[in-house]
Structures are given as structure tokens and as C-alpha cells.
Amino acid sequence: GGKIVSNLKTKFEERLSSLPLVISVLRNSLSCHPAEYEIKDECCPKCQPGTHVKKDCTEFMSTSCQTCSNGTFMSQITGLKYCLPCTNCDTGSGVKVKRSCTKTLDAICEPLEGFYCIDTKEDSCVAAEKHSECKPGQYIITKGTASKDTLCSDCSHGTFSDGTLTSCRPQTKCDAENHLIKPGTAAADAECVGNGSLTAAMISVFLLLILGVALFFFLYRKKYLSDRNVSLS
């Protein structure tokens, strides 16, 4: 009988000695609730959005939280001891503020007017570039948007555009009553002038030439006579 008692005592002592190991394993496999965070083998309640952990919980006190400072935010419950920095919508990167940063939400940026986004992060535009400008001889297929650049195409033969048109215009064709003074190009229209206008222009130039010559002789004669009178006196 004494031998049986001795065996039971030994088994009990063995199990008792293994208890700390079991407790240690349980602690290491500690699984906290999603609304809690683990710290020093304890589960502490997380802080609400717009705040961060100021002091971890203890056996006698719950987690102490602090409101995010200006320029920082926290959008979800957290066990972090700091808030996240707000996104800076830098005009140097071609973006501006679409939604300002709050304690619980980060800022959202959008492209400046006349720019399109080239890099995004979640719902925010990180960087944008200015819309391309169509060159003379090209027309705009699609105007640029906040997400896409302007799309251009070359004008076909016999049409023109200065680069600002949404379609190329046909070149003006000078008829029998009009005289071509400047051929058209892909960037500019042809220039014509009517025969009557051309004749009038030629007459005007001729008259101006005659008036110029007459004025020259008049001034020359006046100066000649003036110099002669001075020499005679």
C-alpha cells in the first residue's frame, strides 16, 4: 500500500513541476481579440480612431489614449503609440488638396487644373503632370482629364490646325477672282486676295511711291534754294 501511495505522489510531483511550462506555452500562444493588442503577454484594449496609445493597460487600469496632434491622423482602432503623418498635397508635384486631413482621415490629393495624375496611392493622387499641348499641324482627339493626358493627331493633307482645334479645317482654295498670296500649310490656312483688292493695293503702293518722290524733290529744292540764298548774301 505504501508503494502505491509513493507512486501517486511521484506522478503528482511530475505533473506539478510541468505546470509552469504549460503556463508559459499558453502565454506564448496568447491570442488577443481584434479590438485588443498584445503587450507583455497581456491583452490591452485598442484606442479609438483619432487617438493613439499614451499608456498601456495594467492589471488595474485600462489603456490610456491621447488625441492625435495636428498634422497626424489615425483612421482605425490602434495599439500604436503614435498617429500617422498626414499626406502633404504638394503643388510642386502637380497636386492640390481635395479633402483636408482630419484626426480620423488622411488628406486626399487631386491634380491641379490642366494636369493629369501619373501616380496614385489608394484614393489619392501622389503626383501629376501638365497636359500635353498639341503642336501646330495637329488637332485634339481627346482633351486631357484628371486621369488622362491630351491625345493629339496630325492633320491630313489639305487641312490645317494651329494645335488648339478639335478637328482640322480644310484649306481655303483661291478661285479665279482671288489671287493666292501665301500657300497653306498643316499649321495655317492659305491666304487669298481678290483681284480688285490686289489692283487697289498696287495702285496705292504706286501712289505712295509718287508722293514719296515728289516730297523728296520738294525738300531737296527747298534746301537748295535756302543754301543758295545764304551764299548770295
Residue-wise pLDDT tens digits, 101-150? 999 999 999 999 999 999 999 999 999 999 999 999 999 999 999 999 99
Stretch 12-16: mean pLDDT: 58
Stretch 39-50: mean pLDDT: 95
Whether the per-residue pLDDT at 24 is higher than 50: the answer is no
- In sequence order, the 6+-apart residues with CB closer than 8 A to the CB of 130 are 94, 114, 115
Stretch 38-63: mean pLDDT: 95
Whether the per-residue pLDDT at 232 is higher than 70: the answer is no
Which DSSP string corresponds to 72-114?
A: EE--S-B--SSPEEPPP--GGGTEEEEE---SSS--EEEEPTT
Can you read off the three cell numbers belonging to residue 211? 508722293
Whether the per-residue pLDDT at 193 is higher than 50: the answer is yes
Query: What per-residue confidence (pLDDT) applies to 6?
Result: 62
Whether the per-residue pLDDT at 49 is higher than 70: the answer is yes
Domain boundaries defined on the chain: 25-85, 87-130
- According to the CATH classification, is domain 25-85 in 3.30.465.10? no
The CATH code for residues 87-130 is 2.10.50.10
Query: What per-residue confidence (pLDDT) applies to 216?
Result: 86
Whether the per-residue pLDDT at 219 is higher than 80: the answer is yes
In which element (H, E) is residue 228 found?
helix 195-232
pTM of the shown model: 0.62
Name the most confidently modeled range: 24-28, 84-88, 175-179. 84-88
What's the number of CA atoms in the CB half-sphere (13 Å) around residue 137?
5
Whether the per-residue pLDDT at 19 is higher than 60: the answer is no
Domains 25-85 and 87-130 belong to one CATH topology: yes
